[in-house]
Chain A
Amino acid sequence: MTFARRHVLTAYALLAFGYLMLPIAVVIAFSFNDPLGRFNFTWQGFTLQHWENPFGPPGLRDAIVASLQIAALASLVATILGTLVALALVRYGFRGRGLTNLLIFMPMTTPEIVMGASLLALFLNVGVATGFWTIFIAHVMFDISFVVVTVKARLAGFDRHLEEAAMDLGANPFTTFARVTLPLIAPGVAAGALLAFALSVDDFVITLFNAGSTITFPLYVWGAARVGVPPQVNVIGTMIFLVAAGLMLASVLVQTRRPKGTS
């Protein structure tokens, strides 16, 4: 009985993982497809031509550049702001902690469409033209919460005595921060920055509302979906997948190798 149960669950898990991987496999496979018309829906034949010329379709390169620029800027600013908030939350007692937590928590649980619409309402009423910088503002806004949560998790196991030791040895608060605190929390900060970058590159809904005439990579895909998505989009999608999955796999494997208790 136990034996059968064990295998039913394993078989089920395999099936479920297959289901999760199926669209990813399709994205990768169709980056090698040689479609007949404009629509890349049915398998026609193998070709490497899209990989040789990934930025072929007009506008695709600009969209990717815009996405990367916005993601780099937004994740940089959000990482700084978010790390400071996380430091305050973990290290200090202060009035207004509940309100702060609520303010951090809310953006993660509000439907994106409501956030996108609200920001657009703000920009419309104040008379700010939407474009590159309004996308940047929006991305920093939704990135902050995720950075705070990520850095906070890392700070929780932080030994304050190390900082006190530095201060006792005559280091001023800024030297202490730069030489002791920052190196210790760096992995958490890096994880937060990567997460913010990834969220920013992937964001579609909030961007759509606040983009004006700026086109990011997801907006390009959205526009192309109506007239036929070029296979190069699959190539870019595959590249993004490989980079993100590679980074995550590396970090997971490093943690798996390490014996428990020394994270």
Chain B
Amino acid sequence: MGWLHRHRGLVPYLLLAPGLAWLALFFVVPTYYLANTSLQTGSLDAGYAFTWAWDNYADAISTYHEQFVRSLQYAGIATVAAFLVSYPLAYFIAFRGGRWKGVLLLLIIAPFFVTYLIRTLAWQTILSDSGFVVNALQTVGLLGDGDRLLATSTAVIAGITYNFLPFMALPLYVSLEQIDGRLIEAAEDLYASKVKAFLRVTLPLSLPGVFAGTLLTFIPAAGDFINAELLGTPRQSMIGNVIQSKFLVLTDYGQAAALSFTLMAAILVLIAIYTKVLGTERMGV
């Protein structure tokens, strides 16, 4: 006891030590091993050796640039779709929710209470060829008789949008909720139209939420492979599908690690550009 008292400055570090050590050992150190592995060559039978194999990157990118571009595309479209769906919804809860805000927010995160794979399989059922969505679209002529929804890019993007929507809606809600309603009233008192008040007051004030929401949606979406696997075909396969099969099925560890590292780097670069363009340092969460 006396020792702790004399070394009070050490207390925070003692509290931090176990948790940070765990993160250092199993989050930071693994990144080094991923980098190391990405420069290894070899096979499961012959063993793997570190050979500065930069070819892993060149080969991986030249072979799989299509899946890379597709991942970023799908993630981008899904992020925009999630934004368009959630903004009005978050607005509704923040300004019209009243005392039911808590319950309505619960409805937004309700999908998370169903295991990820199971809710994606539910979309498989909903979009299946004999399902009611396809039937309805065929009846009104939006879909031809032989056309399907399952196993298309649309299905994969729709699945991604649904699965990561709460990541978009929650930060949007938080930033909208914090807006002082009097600011919007003031704008309207000063003869701004409803639309103008929204564009000049509400929307700019909610930008931190937009920023956090798009990042929290885009990042997991770009690395996802479950939607492409369950709702698409190999023609919709994303970079996550390639990484997964190379690591776990083909044991081509060098290229798999190179692809993971490239994905990480691509995402970091995009975030950096995005942060610069949006010009905000606030993360909102």
Interface residues of A (CB under 8 A from B): 5-6, 9-10, 12-13, 16-17, 19-24, 26-27, 30, 40-42, 80-82, 84-85, 87-88, 91-94, 100, 103-104, 106-107, 109-115, 117-122, 124-126, 137-138, 140-141, 144-145, 148, 172-173, 198, 201-202, 204-205, 208-209, 217-218, 221-222, 225, 229, 233-234, 237, 240-241, 244-245, 248-249, 252-253, 255-256
Q: A23-B111, A240-B114 are in contact. List 11 more A-B contacts (CB 8 A).
A: A23-B122, A41-B130, A88-B13, A88-B16, A118-B27, A140-B22, A140-B26, A148-B19, A240-B113, A245-B113, A249-B106
- Give the complex CA separation of A41 and B131 in angstroms: 8
CB-nearest residue of chain A to B92: A13
Q: Quick one: CB contact mask for B99-128 with A, threshold 8 Å, 1 for yes?
A: 110111111111111111111011111101
**Alpha-carbon distance A212/B165, docked complex (angstroms):** 31
Contact at B116–A202, with CB atoms within 8 Å?
A: yes
Task: Tell whether A12 pairs with B165 under 8 Å between CB atoms, given A121-B30, A221-B121, A245-B106.
Answer: no
B29: chain A residues at CB < 8 Å are 122
Closest Cβ–Cβ distance, residue A207 to chain B (whole Å)? 11
Q: A112 and B162: CB pair below 8 A?
A: no
Residue contacts A-B, CB under 8 angstroms, 9 given: A20-B162, A20-B165, A81-B19, A115-B30, A121-B30, A121-B36, A122-B30, A141-B23, A240-B114
In terms of DSSP, what is the predominant structure of the interface of chain A?
A: helix
Check B194 against A5 for contact (C-beta < 8 Å): yes
Question: Taking beta carbons and an 8 Å cutoff, which residues of B are in contact with A?
Answer: 1, 4, 9, 11-13, 15-16, 18-20, 22-24, 26-31, 33-34, 36-37, 48, 85-86, 88-89, 91-93, 96, 99-100, 102-119, 121-126, 128, 130-131, 162, 165, 194, 215-216, 219-220, 222-226, 230, 240, 243-244, 247-248, 253, 256-257, 260, 263-264, 267
Q: Which residues of A contact B121 (CB under 8 A)?
A: 221, 225, 229, 233
